[in-house]
Amino acid sequence: MPLLYARRSLSVALLVVPSVLGSAAWGAPAQPAAPVAAPPPAASTAASQAELKKIQEQLSLENSVAEAQLRKELAPLAAEKQRRDMASSLQRQKLEAELSAQQAEIEKFNKQIDLINRRLALKEAERKSRLDEELAATREKLDKLRNANDLASAELAVKTREIALREQEIRLKSTEMQLKKIDLDAHVARIASDLEVRDKRDAWHNRVLTDIAYTKEPFKDGVLTISDRRIALNGVVTMDMADRITERVNFFNNQTKEFPIFIVIDQSPGGSVAAGYKILKTMKGSAAPVYVVVKSFAASMAAGITTLAARSFAYPNAIILHHQLSGFAGGNLTEHREHVKELEEWWKRLAQPVAAKMGISIEEFLKRMYQNRSSGDWQEFADVAKKLKWVDEVAETIREQSFVKNPDVLEASLPPVPRRYYGAAELAETTDSNGKAHAKLPRLEPYDAYFLYNPDGYYRLTQ
């Protein structure tokens, strides 16, 4: 920009000259005015030269000003150029120093490589000398081996002929054995085929091949038909049992909500109130109706499950037993009082619905228990229990459709299960120091209690 400015100033100055010269030297165009006497020639030239000199001085002055302005504007650029030249020189010196160091490092590496190559050449010479010695020794051994091999080859040829004869004899015997094996395999195949046919025939006879007939009304003319939507409840009611029953109720609901689910009690003395309550809530919350069937004996918590079912069935001689809640507790007097308070609350929650179904108060229910039997264990056969509304229907016949496999075959594949007079025990049976058989009850969770018929003390708490 400063240089362009100087050039423009000079151009303006030069343009002034023609205009001045034009007006002074050549003059304006002729006008039709009165003629004026021309000055003498010498005087006109002097005046033009003076005018030119004046213009030149003016131009020189303007040019000096422009040059000064240009130098002023160029000074920062010159300083920047000098700074960059110095930086470039410094950078070049650094690069030269780095290059010199790299060259020295390269020379060092070259010397090391040369030393390594010399060492390798020396080792190679030593290795070659050693190999030559070993090769000579090997050739000597090879010559000896060739001589020995020639002798061995002659002996081997004799043995080979002997072996060939022996192999021929073996092949003949092998062929005879293969023929016998073929006959034996055919015989075994016939036997295996016969056994397979018999196994399939046995499997056919040990299974029921007819379809299960599902119905919304399973009770007709005193006959109760139980489908394979069946869940067994036998032995002590525990939380594990409650979980198992809950899982199966949910499974059958997920299959279909149209047909009933059956909880079948062969024999149960009752058990945990918390587990029993969980079963009751599962039954009540089921979209498919859940019916309870008692075949032999249902006491305590099992009796409550039977009575509070949406619908219950029992053989006429099946026994339903209701009694007051009892528990096992240890500790000081205060702890006993707290435990009694908890038992009273559980009793109210479990007995109140049973009393309401009977149409009496919970106090009247308790009173009648002890009127019926001094121990408070109020038990009735199902035909009488129906009148008390403990069970809804008495079934003269119960038909099980869920048993589609031969029970004898199935039972033979399972480990033996100890039996009690009121049902299959889920708990391991042991003997105490007095030789009395008993079973240990599972440890209860806090605020739980056993609602259990246990007249002979067979069930005992885990210490």
- Residue-wise pLDDT tens digits, 69-102: 998 888 898 888 888 988 888 988 998 888 888 8
Average pLDDT for residues 228-247, to the nearest whole number?
95
124-128, 168-172, 254-258, 450-454: which is most confident? 254-258
Give per-residue pLDDT as tens, 409-420: 555 555 554 443
Rounded Cα gap, residues 324 and 337, in angstroms: 17
Does any domain span residue 428? yes
What is the pLDDT, as a whole number, of residue 314? 97
Rounded Cα gap, residues 297 and 90, in angstroms: 109
Residue 385 clears pLDDT 90, i.e. is over it: yes
Average pLDDT for residues 420-431, to the nearest whole number?
59
Q: Where are the beta strands (DSSP E) in 300-424?
A: 311-314, 319-322, 378-381, 393-394, 397-400, 419-420, 423-424
Residue 14 clears pLDDT 50, i.e. is over it: no
Does any domain span residue 335? yes
Residue 426 clears pLDDT 70, i.e. is over it: no
Radius of gyration of the chain (CA): 61
What is the pLDDT, as a whole number, of residue 340? 76
170-174, 275-279, 334-338: which is most confident? 275-279
138 pLDDT band (50/70/90 cuts)? confident
- Looking at per-residue confidence, does 282 or 9 come out higher? 282
- Looking at per-residue confidence, does 327 or 239 come out higher? 239
Average pLDDT for residues 131-146, to the nearest whole number?
86
Residue 434 clears pLDDT 50, i.e. is over it: yes
96-105, 189-198, 238-247: which is most confident? 238-247
Rounded Cα gap, residues 296 and 274, in angstroms: 24
Residue 34 clears pLDDT 80, i.e. is over it: no
Least confident range of 46-55, 207-216, 315-324, 341-350: 207-216
What is the pLDDT, as a whole number, of residue 17? 39
Does any domain span residue 410? yes
Does any domain span residue 168? no
The count of domains in the chain is 1
Residue 31 clears pLDDT 60, i.e. is over it: no
Give ∠ CA 317-323-324 in degrees, rounded to 5.
Answer: 170
305 closest CA partner among 256, 359, 246, 371: 246
Burial 161-199 (b: 16+ CB within 10 A, else e): eeeeeeeeeeeeeeeeeeeeeeeeeeeeeeeeeeeeeee
Does any domain span residue 368? yes
Average pLDDT for residues 205-232, to the nearest whole number?
85
Average pLDDT for residues 224-240, to the nearest whole number?
94
| Percentage with pLDDT > 90 across the chain | 36
Average pLDDT for residues 245-259, to the nearest whole number?
96
Asked whether 233 and 268 are in contact (CB, 8 A), the reply is yes
Asked whether 438 and 432 are in contact (CB, 8 A), the reply is yes
Does any domain span residue 274? yes
Give 49's contacts (C-beta < 8 A, 6+ positions apart): none
Mean pLDDT computed over every residue of the chain: 82
CATH, residue 319? 3.90.226.10
Least confident range of 48-52, 95-99, 325-329: 325-329
Residue 209 clears pLDDT 80, i.e. is over it: no
Residue 227 clears pLDDT 80, i.e. is over it: yes
24 pLDDT band (50/70/90 cuts)? very low
Residue 206 clears pLDDT 80, i.e. is over it: no
353: containing domain: 219-461
Asked whether 461 and 329 are in contact (CB, 8 A), the reply is no
- C-alpha distances in angstroms, 131 versus 121, 125, 127? 15, 10, 6
- CA-CA-CA-CA dihedral for 186, 189, 194, 198, to nearest 10: 170
Does any domain span residue 116? no
- Looking at per-residue confidence, does 387 or 81 come out higher? 387
Residue 222 clears pLDDT 60, i.e. is over it: yes
Average pLDDT for residues 432-445, to the nearest whole number?
84
45-54, 81-90, 173-182, 392-401: which is most confident? 392-401
Residue 331 clears pLDDT 90, i.e. is over it: no
Does any domain span residue 276? yes
Average pLDDT for residues 324-346, to the nearest whole number?
75
306 closest CA partner among 266, 249, 362, 342: 266
